[in-house]
Amino acid sequence: MIDLDDRKPMNLRRRSIYLLPNLLTTAALFAGFYAIVQAMNSKFEFAAVAIFIAMVLDGLDGRVARLTRTQSEFGAEYDSLSDMVSFGVAPSLLMYEWAFKDLGKLGWFAAFIYCAGTALRLARFNANIETIDKRFFQGLPSPAAAAVIAGFVWVMLDNHFSGQEMRWYAVILTVFAGLSMVSNVRFYSFKDFNMRKSVPFIVIILVALFFILISSYPPGVLFLLFLCYALSGYVLWLLGFRKKTSSPTT
């Protein structure tokens, strides 16, 4: 018979382990909230950077949960709610405050398309999590969509373009990102990439060069990187469509 006092340290230790990934999720949520506050205060560059920080933290919490074997249904639901704030509300509000205010109903409608697209994307992901092909995402992932929005604002600010000057480009990009999230276009997930597998030395050099490239001009490189990813799904879809139409029928 196990004494109750002997089980308390085990229970406390188990709770402290489960706390770790949720702390990272909370940090990502805070970064998203911070982005909202900074956007409302017209500090758009701070808001854009905060969204990218939320992306990094969001990518860490799931990996930490898997490595420490602390995955839970609570963590999955909490992560989705955090994503809605950081990658749904924050980017749409950032774009609205920066470029859409003078567009009237069209402005808030474009921002809402993006926000609603994020909510629908997250709900569909949670509903289909056990049935989808793990190698691909169905629709543009919400962090990537947020990176396109935040990266665009960051690049324009860094090159001294105002939201007023870029508002129509911003509308097109925002609607594109919002609709891409709820599309059936498949985007490569990189989940089958094995980090434990040995690779040629040249790969390490290329990774180092990649980080050097990012550090040389973060806003431009990050925006271009995620914009290419957002377009990659459509490129793959077109290639697949052409292959189907060109294949001989029997």
For residue 2, the model assigns a pLDDT of: 46
For residue 55, the model assigns a pLDDT of: 97
Domain ranges of the chain: 12-246
- Fold adopted by 12-246: Four Helix Bundle (Hemerythrin (Met), subunit A) (1.20.120)
Cβ atoms of 24 and 64 closer than 8 Å: yes
| 75-84, 146-155, 184-193, 233-242, range with greatest mean pLDDT | 146-155
- Least confident among 11-15, 72-76, 187-191: 11-15
For residue 213, the model assigns a pLDDT of: 87
- Least confident among 102-111, 143-152, 168-177, 241-250: 241-250
Query: Is pLDDT above 90 for 95?
Result: yes
For residue 234, the model assigns a pLDDT of: 94
Query: Is pLDDT above 50 for 17?
Result: no
- Least confident among 17-21, 154-158, 236-240: 17-21
pLDDT tens for each residue of 180-236: 999 999 998 877 666 666 767 787 888 888 888 888 999 999 999 999 999 999 998
